Structure 1
């Protein structure tokens, strides 16, 4: 990468489900969260998308020391998916009467003045670009969608390719991409709620439940960092080396050349309140952008909904903004 790169720190959270950092010294998810240039929250802000839950999450994010705080929804944030909410919101929130105005109020909360004042930006699906105070340019692809999961919000069927344009879809898939993932080298960070297939997506039943189309898109995009959550027991990080010369494979297992798990010292996580990974020039092992992507499942909740898994802090080299 060029000499005009700027070291930028990214704090990654996902699946906090309305929980706030504790003061318990044995929990890595505790106050204060590490400071960063950018915070990204990969969805499942809440349990069922109630306004009271959103307000608790916003208060938590307001207290984080980060200039820019990027937020997407997840399948539990049901009132941010208006189509889903009007169909099933009353049942999911155990309401006596449907609150059809809740999607509007939820969106206004996350896009309104209170959020902007705190540096919070709610991202719809698609590409977003930012100029950071440190002088860096940050290009993000965001999406709250994941394969249909027990009839929760932001779903698509597994035979539908939501992430690749029609001429690049997974063979035999149905193209539905409205905001496809761009090709390399146009994105620095992908933030999706769900994981790609085979990457930190294994359930306690040892089933891989990620999305093969998302993996295909990530291989095409090859960002420096792809962060997500959704599968709580998939918490962790892997350094993925791509197979980049054969774009026509049918089998998703052929997209990845090598995976290297990031080794975690759990005592150090408790001490530091996060896992720290440096991918920048001058680090022990700089990222080879275009060949590698760091994949991070940053689910704070365990499978039993205990907020006791640590955040991730990643240092990246970003290009200087013009």
Structure 2
């Protein structure tokens, strides 16, 4: 007997495992190693890896990252590159790859081989979907519809891969770009309510982006785009010491006021840092947070008003894989096919 989709809830509780900046590290398998990043990693509906899979984009490093991802139990595993994954940025590697890999002559094959690893048979066997910059949509077996904006880029940082200059707005269309910035968006972030999850390698300014020198190094243009998009979740890494999460509540603005002025601090009504218990995180192998309607102890996240910002860098500032992944429960809209939805069907993609 089949139930009608009209009798089903309009939302589906979905679990996300979020991690970033693993830099070729594998989860610890030692029972005496008192760290949260250990095997097995928690199960989830969707894995989100926000880049820096490697230290310097060598093929053997990608192999280790694929092994790690293949061992996670999840229906959908989404991956973007980061500034250390230099062979996935062909333009950058053509310019600086020989120096970064200490080569005497250019290896013309490595960027092609790297991309094939993440988009070909190896990735498929690991259950991994590699995302280029742009919008990607999926339908889970539960009937949940997931709409993702992905981008591996971040402001130029010590001349590593996927860079843009700070005066360049990569995320907003020209008519909504930061005043005074040079608009360069090829795949601009869509307006609310088109996106559930933003996956970027770098953080937006002021949101888990503070270095050990107390400098905010995130991107103002990215925060502007996130405020316009208002996703349920914005996850990233890049700044290892920024690990953690906060619940951002946006100030109201009219449709005619998307070209918001003023200082970026004025765009946010409140930002509540998520308190973490390190002992509990180590015991459970992650930080667990339930912001769904059925959540116990936390208020339901209000889509369009709030965004959970997560810096999920596994590596510490000293490149030790000691920081835990995040496991977040959120409600997603039902696709309309209910429990009979086709699993992992890509509805649209603009790479």
Relative to the length of structure 1, the TM-score reads 0.98
**Contact 2:145–2:334 at 8 Å: present in 1 too?**
yes
Which of residues 257, 265, 288 in structure 2 aligns to 1:253? 265
Look up the SS of the partner of 1:215 in the other structure.
helix
Look up the SS of the partner of 2:96 in the other structure.
helix
CA-based RMSD of the aligned residues comes to 1.1
Look up the SS of the partner of 2:111 in the other structure.
helix
Look up the SS of the partner of 1:309 in the other structure.
coil
Matched residue, 1:89: 97
What is the correspondence of 1:166-185 to structure 2 with a 5 Å cutoff? 166-185=174-193
Shift of 1:200: 0.2
Structure 1 gap segments, 5+ residues each: none
**Contact 1:171–1:250 at 8 Å: present in 2 too?**
no
Shift of 1:252: 1.4
Matched residue, 1:270: 282
Matched residue, 1:287: 301
**Contact 2:67–2:126 at 8 Å: present in 1 too?**
no
Which of residues 168, 173, 177 in structure 2 aligns to 1:165? 173
Aligned pairs, how many?
321
Look up the SS of the partner of 1:47 in the other structure.
coil
Which of residues 123, 135, 141 in structure 2 aligns to 1:127? 135
Matched residue, 2:66: 58
CA distance in 2, matches of 1:244, 1:29: 38
Shift of 1:250: 3.3
What is the correspondence of 1:212-231 to structure 2 with a 5 Å cutoff? 212-231=220-239
Q: List per-residue Cα deviations over 1:287-307 (Å, max 9, x = no partner).
A: 011110000000000000000
**Contact 1:274–1:313 at 8 Å: present in 2 too?**
yes
Specify the structure having the higher radius of gyration (Cα). Answer: 2
Instruction: State whether structure 2 residue 16 is matched by structure 1 residue 10.
Output: yes
Matched residue, 2:340: none
CA distance in 2, matches of 1:100, 1:118: 26
What is the correspondence of 1:234-249 to structure 2 with a 5 Å cutoff? 234-245=242-253, 247=258, 248-249=260-261
- Tell me which moved more, 242-251 or 111-120: 242-251
Structure 2 gap segments, 5+ residues each: 1-7, 337-351
What is the correspondence of 1:296-315 to structure 2 with a 5 Å cutoff? 296-315=310-329
CA distance in 2, matches of 1:16, 1:244: 36
- Tell me which moved more, 253-262 or 34-43: 253-262
- Tell me which moved more, 32-41 or 247-256: 247-256
Relative to the length of structure 2, the TM-score reads 0.90
What is the correspondence of 1:6-155 to structure 2 with a 5 Å cutoff? 6-24=12-30, 25-155=33-163
CA distance in 2, matches of 1:166, 1:241: 26
Shift of 1:257: 1.1
Shift of 1:126: 0.2
